A and B are shown apart, each in its own frame.
Chain A
Amino acid sequence: MLYYLTKRLGLSAVVVCLVVLVLFSLLHLIPGDPATIALGPRATPEAIARYAEKMHLDEPVWRQFMIYVANAATGDLGLDVFSDRPVTAIIMERIGFTLALVGTGMGWAMLLGIPLGCLAAVKPNSWLDRITGVFSVGTIAVPSFLVSIWALLIFAVHLRWLPAIGAGEPGDLGDQVSHLILPAFAIGLSWVGYLARMVRASMLEVMGENYIRSARAFGLRPRRVIFGYALRVAILPTITLIGMGFGGMISSTVFAEIIFARPGIGKLIFDAVTARNFPIVQGAVLVATGLYILVVLISDILIAWFDPRVRESL
């Protein structure tokens, strides 16, 4: 296990380095001088020179890269172009909102999608199964920004049940939760469909296994057979899917956060890209990558926890 963790963390570090390299290259592939790009066409030559020196832009590219990696390793992701505040601090302010959104979105999708998939698989071709099938395909097909806009129009503008924009008053939990509902609904909806389909497919396969027949032949209750035996095995591929899904969801928060004007990583990246605030873009993408790698690692460890055969092969 320790060996496995070491190996995985080592590999993760390599992936992060590659991501930094790609980000860095992109910045330097954009034609023109980074300082001019960052400060815009109307910046004075003095300002550009000052900026270039502060950002080590006068150094060779490989040195810039080394400096960035070395700083990033100590948690220093550079300074915001406009406010001069540390990028790390800005990201930390915002990341909570994104995590809350992604967690809630995936959370409700799991709570609904997994049982739906189970029930559909237990009674294949029943009306529940058919409805689940149509619902899954429907929700997967509709992009989340469309769901966001419709949800906003119906529940916030038309019915006025829920607030439309922002993340709620700091400190007021009820207000924050009510601001979370619509965006979480929007980004989670297609995942209900994904999860239901995935769980249904693997449950159908597992329900045909000999050990499920054994459990039924020993007279166990159907609920025990389905949730205690079949789901325990069928959930394993779904865990991997959820792990990878978190990554996809972080990118879909960009839309949700823009539409609902929520302060989060997605909105931060969008604003930074529009304003050509590259230190922020770099830092935020790096943090998002790190989060993604972490979640995938956690999902792999969860699988090992559920399946003794995987656990022992680590």
Chain B
Amino acid sequence: MPKDATHAPDTLLDVRNLSVDFRTPRGRVKALRDISFPIRKNRIIGIVGESGSGKSTVLWALLGLLAKNAEVTSGEVRFGDRDLLHASEAQLRATRGEEISVVFQDPMTSQIPVLTYGRQMRDILYRRPNVTTVEKRRMAVEMLGKVGIPDPDKRIDQYPHHFSGGMRQRAGIAMALLTGPQLLLADEPTTALDVTMEAQIIHLLQDLQKELDATVVVVSHNLGLIAELCDDVVVMYAGEVIEAGEVHEIFHNAQHPYTRALLECDPARIDDVSRKLPVIPGDIPDLTKPLSGCIYASRCQRAMPICRQQTPPTITRGEMSLARCHLLDGPHHDPDWPPPLDVMTVGKGEAGARKPARVKRDDPLLEVSDLNVQFETVGPLRARLKGITQRHVDAVLDVSLSVAPGETVGLVGESGSGKTTLGRTVLNLVPARSGSVKFEGREIRNMPEGRFKPLRRDMAMMFQDPVGSLSPRKSVRALITEPFQIHGISGVNLDDEAERLADMVRLPKPFLSRYPHELSGGQARRVGVARALALNPKLIIADEPTAGLDVSVQGEILNLMTDLQAEHGLGYLVITHNLPVVRHIADRLAIMYLGRIVEEGRTAEVFNRPVHPYTQALVEGVPQPDPDRRRVHVSISGEVPSLLNRPKGCDFATRCPYAQDRCRAEKPPHVTMADGRRHACHFPLGQ
């Protein structure tokens, strides 16, 4: 512990030499090792890192709410004249929610479902006995109004499930700010939200921080969010702070090879879509084993022998900035490091031509036309009793789409846009009401399962949740050969097949005898890809293929998908809300809104020249990992309406900045433009 315990007057909270261990059945995990950084007053500080970096552990340590098996082995957290790590439970309770408050990652699960917002917010104000209940309610209503909740005096009596995701997160912010805390912690505040909601929440946090002069800590893996929102940045890797500095320093002049690599891997940053995505090879080190040298050495693009033996020096520049790397100081100092921003430092070996230009064939693999899917919302008896005439909602409305062999089509939309329903309907898992689905020219819509089953060999699904979609009781070997058993294919040597598939998805052989819980997110994804590929399908429907993956790993999966496509001529239908990712792999994009395709065209054209205002909002909604490209305004406000009250005219009219009377009155038909793009807008942009 350093002796000079005086800290700069503008430091609100100071983390010093914090080390935390977790006791697990595998041994002690050294989750945090010697973490130090200041949190400066009236600034927004971002803690960025991939999964396993310990960024959330830091956050919970600040609140004294570490898991029961955690043990603080050293360090202190100075907040005013107190050390929060060694404060009594009563002192901590007086601090939490009052002086330090939190906005949680997932507003769907972090608010109690059985109490109204009014009650939850009154409970937070319990430490003020001389404020009356009426007054507390007034404070809560005022705060809900401030975070942009319409009709706060009515909505305060509602329960969390009455609120949409974005509204819940707003309410979560209101709860956190209700007591006027000096420090606001935000744990991945937008990860659970859609792109357009994310932009709104970022701006709300920014505005409130200015208005209330608060200090904010944002923990995130999203570089765009950090660049857009933060003043200071702390970069963490495997339980250590490897670099810290002001946001411009980090994003424009990163010193540590890991920070550099992380920035280079972010697909949102890469404009050149003709190359493969860069990746950081390897995995995070096992923190139960004794560590020596630089923690990043095993994955570093510039690793030297000394990196594995000696702890790197810490180079400080000014109050906040530091970086720990042998390249920066000492005998191995490299004056040419870091190279200019346009020089790539990672994934050089993988660079090269992406895929050969596809031979365009005329007959599509999959052809969907005018497909409609409806869901029943009210039973027939209840509908009669209550006089409801509209018993169904349109989950998918007049959708036409085609996928050619060797082509990747991206289906993009926010939650509730019907994109997953469309995918499931194509696979005959959801019955369609009308329209047609043709696979290799053959009508397959609502085919009885008995006749459809042989076709399932040709159409495979990659599921959204990689671990949840694998049976926890089966080994990887059993899992990737399961399709053979499901389809009763005999005469193949399952062990050979398992090894062939593992090879194909570049999964090392020893992994075949592991079980799903022993796999990392990226490895579980590979198993999912192997299962999908087992029977040599022609079409793969991939539902959010990179959801939950770290930036350094998602490139691997996307590159793998691209390679397999080039090799086998697969057709992909990629369902996602992640625009930067889909931009790199899709040949064509279809943008869905409320079950309808609003725009469809070649990826580059859709990105560079959106025709539909919704597409434009989505493209602009992605926060850019560059603090110089911060947006000054949010392009669209409001949120996706419920399917239960679909707007009468254009579905997007309620949120469209260009909406006119005609948009609210009549639904725009699909129009095919001269260059083959299709859109559904009365007043297409740039026309």
Binding site for A on B (CB under 8 A): 63, 65, 92-98, 101-102, 104, 106, 109-115, 123-124, 126-127, 159, 161, 175, 382, 385-386
Can you report 16 residue pairs joining A to B where beta carbons are below 8 Å apart? Answer: A210-B109, A211-B111, A218-B96, A218-B97, A218-B101, A219-B98, A220-B97, A220-B124, A232-B112, A232-B114, A232-B115, A307-B114, A308-B113, A309-B113, A309-B114, A309-B159
Task: Choose from B92, B113, B123 the contact partner of A220 (Cβ within 8 Å).
Answer: B123
**B382 neighbours in A (Cβ, 8 Å):** 3
Decide: B175 and A218 in contact? CB cutoff 8 A. Answer: yes
Within 8 A of B (CB), among A193-223: 209-221
Interface string of A216-244 (1 = CB under 8 A from B): 11111100100011001100000000000
Binding site for B on A (CB under 8 A): 3, 209-221, 224, 228-229, 232-233, 306-309
Q: Which residue of B lies closest to A236 (CB)?
A: B114
**A216 neighbours in B (Cβ, 8 Å):** 65, 96
Decide: A211 and B385 in contact? CB cutoff 8 A. Answer: no
Q: Which residue of A lies closest to B89 (CB)?
A: A222
Measured between alpha carbons, how far is A46 from B175 in the docked complex, in Å? 84
**A213 neighbours in B (Cβ, 8 Å):** 65, 104, 110
Q: Which residue of A lies closest to B92 (CB)?
A: A219
Q: Which residue of A lies closest to B94 (CB)?
A: A219
Task: Choose from B112, B114, B159 the contact partner of A215 (Cβ within 8 Å).
Answer: B112
Decide: B109 and A209 in contact? CB cutoff 8 A. Answer: yes
Measured between alpha carbons, how far is A34 from B65 in the docked complex, in Å? 72
Q: Given the known A-B contacts A3-B382, A308-B159, A308-B161, are A217 and B126 also in contact in the complex, defined by CB atoms under 8 Å?
A: no
Decide: B126 and A224 in contact? CB cutoff 8 A. Answer: yes
Decide: A233 and B113 in contact? CB cutoff 8 A. Answer: yes
**A219 neighbours in B (Cβ, 8 Å):** 92-98, 124, 127
Measured between alpha carbons, how far is A165 from B109 in the docked complex, in Å? 54
Q: Which residue of A lies closest to B158 (CB)?
A: A308
Decide: B114 and A233 in contact? CB cutoff 8 A. Answer: yes
Nearest 5 interchain pairs by C-beta? A218-B97, A219-B96, A219-B97, A211-B112, A210-B110
**Smallest distance from the beta carbon of B288 to chain A beta carbons, Å?**
23
Decide: A229 and B102 in contact? CB cutoff 8 A. Answer: no
Q: Which residue of B lies closest to A310 (CB)?
A: B114
Decide: A224 and B123 in contact? CB cutoff 8 A. Answer: yes
Decide: B110 and A211 in contact? CB cutoff 8 A. Answer: yes
Decide: A220 and B126 in contact? CB cutoff 8 A. Answer: yes
Measured between alpha carbons, how far is A216 from B127 in the docked complex, in Å? 14
**A220 neighbours in B (Cβ, 8 Å):** 97, 123-124, 126
**Smallest distance from the beta carbon of B168 to chain A beta carbons, Å?**
12
Decide: A214 and B102 in contact? CB cutoff 8 A. Answer: yes
**A232 neighbours in B (Cβ, 8 Å):** 112, 114-115
Q: Which residue of A lies closest to B112 (CB)?
A: A211
Q: Given the known A-B contacts A210-B110, A233-B114, A308-B161, are A221 and B96 also in contact in the complex, defined by CB atoms under 8 Å?
A: no
Measured between alpha carbons, how far is A210 from B111 in the docked complex, in Å? 8
Q: Given the known A-B contacts A233-B112, A307-B113, are A217 and B159 also in contact in the complex, defined by CB atoms under 8 Å?
A: no
Q: Which of A216, A219, A228, A307 has the most CB of B within 10 A?
A: A219
Measured between alpha carbons, how far is A219 from B101 in the docked complex, in Å? 9
Measured between alpha carbons, how far is A209 from B93 in the docked complex, in Å? 19
Measured between alpha carbons, how far is A224 from B123 in the docked complex, in Å? 9
Measured between alpha carbons, how far is A307 from B113 in the docked complex, in Å? 8
Decide: B111 and A214 in contact? CB cutoff 8 A. Answer: yes
Measured between alpha carbons, how far is A308 from B115 in the docked complex, in Å? 8
Q: Which residue of A lies closest to B176 (CB)?
A: A218
**B97 neighbours in A (Cβ, 8 Å):** 217-220
Q: Which residue of A lies closest to B121 (CB)?
A: A218
Measured between alpha carbons, how far is A298 from B112 in the docked complex, in Å? 24
**B127 neighbours in A (Cβ, 8 Å):** 219
Q: Given the known A-B contacts A3-B385, A224-B123, A308-B159, are A217 and B65 also in contact in the complex, defined by CB atoms under 8 Å?
A: yes
**B63 neighbours in A (Cβ, 8 Å):** 217
**A212 neighbours in B (Cβ, 8 Å):** 112
Measured between alpha carbons, how far is A55 from B109 in the docked complex, in Å? 62
**B175 neighbours in A (Cβ, 8 Å):** 218
**B114 neighbours in A (Cβ, 8 Å):** 232-233, 306-309
Measured between alpha carbons, how far is A229 from B124 in the docked complex, in Å? 13
Q: Which residue of A lies closest to B185 (CB)?
A: A217
Task: Choose from A221, A233, A308 the contact partner of B93 (Cβ within 8 Å).
Answer: A221
Measured between alpha carbons, how far is A224 from B97 in the docked complex, in Å? 15
Q: Which residue of A lies closest to B95 (CB)?
A: A219
**B111 neighbours in A (Cβ, 8 Å):** 211, 214
Decide: B123 and A210 in contact? CB cutoff 8 A. Answer: no
**B113 neighbours in A (Cβ, 8 Å):** 211, 233, 307-309
Measured between alpha carbons, how far is A232 from B95 in the docked complex, in Å? 26
Q: Which residue of B lies closest to A124 (CB)?
A: B68
**Smallest distance from the beta carbon of A121 to chain B beta carbons, Å?**
13
Q: Which residue of B lies closest to A217 (CB)?
A: B102
Q: Which residue of A lies closest to B96 (CB)?
A: A219
Q: With contacts A218-B101, A220-B124, A229-B115 known, what are 8 further pairs, Cβ within 8 A? A: A214-B104, A217-B97, A218-B96, A218-B175, A219-B127, A224-B126, A232-B112, A308-B159
Decide: A210 and B106 in contact? CB cutoff 8 A. Answer: yes
Q: Which of B111, B112, B126, B161 has the most CB of A within 10 A?
A: B112
Q: Which residue of B lies closest to A233 (CB)?
A: B114
**Smallest distance from the beta carbon of B375 to chain A beta carbons, Å?**
16
Measured between alpha carbons, how far is A306 from B112 in the docked complex, in Å? 12
Decide: A218 and B124 in contact? CB cutoff 8 A. Answer: yes
**Smallest distance from the beta carbon of A306 to chain B beta carbons, Å?**
6
Q: Which residue of B lies closest to A206 (CB)?
A: B112
**A3 neighbours in B (Cβ, 8 Å):** 382, 385-386
Decide: B65 and A211 in contact? CB cutoff 8 A. Answer: no
Measured between alpha carbons, how far is A217 from B183 in the docked complex, in Å? 13
Q: Which residue of B lies closest to A308 (CB)?
A: B159
**Smallest distance from the beta carbon of B666 to chain A beta carbons, Å?**
34
Measured between alpha carbons, how far is A241 from B112 in the docked complex, in Å? 23
Decide: A228 and B104 in contact? CB cutoff 8 A. Answer: no
**B94 neighbours in A (Cβ, 8 Å):** 219
Task: Choose from B110, B159, B161 the contact partner of A214 (Cβ within 8 Å).
Answer: B110
Q: Given the known A-B contacts A233-B114, A307-B113, are A221 and B126 also in contact in the complex, defined by CB atoms under 8 Å?
A: yes
Measured between alpha carbons, how far is A210 from B108 in the docked complex, in Å? 9
Decide: A217 and B96 in contact? CB cutoff 8 A. Answer: yes
Measured between alpha carbons, how far is A218 from B63 in the docked complex, in Å? 10
Measured between alpha carbons, how far is A221 from B124 in the docked complex, in Å? 10
Q: Which of A212, A216, A232 has the most CB of B within 10 A?
A: A216
**Smallest distance from the beta carbon of B169 to chain A beta carbons, Å?**
13
Measured between alpha carbons, how far is A210 from B103 in the docked complex, in Å? 12
Measured between alpha carbons, how far is A217 from B109 in the docked complex, in Å? 14
**A233 neighbours in B (Cβ, 8 Å):** 112-114
Q: Which residue of A lies closest to B125 (CB)?
A: A218
**B386 neighbours in A (Cβ, 8 Å):** 3
Measured between alpha carbons, how far is A306 from B114 in the docked complex, in Å? 7
**B104 neighbours in A (Cβ, 8 Å):** 210, 213-214, 217
Measured between alpha carbons, how far is A3 from B112 in the docked complex, in Å? 28
**B101 neighbours in A (Cβ, 8 Å):** 217-218
**B385 neighbours in A (Cβ, 8 Å):** 3
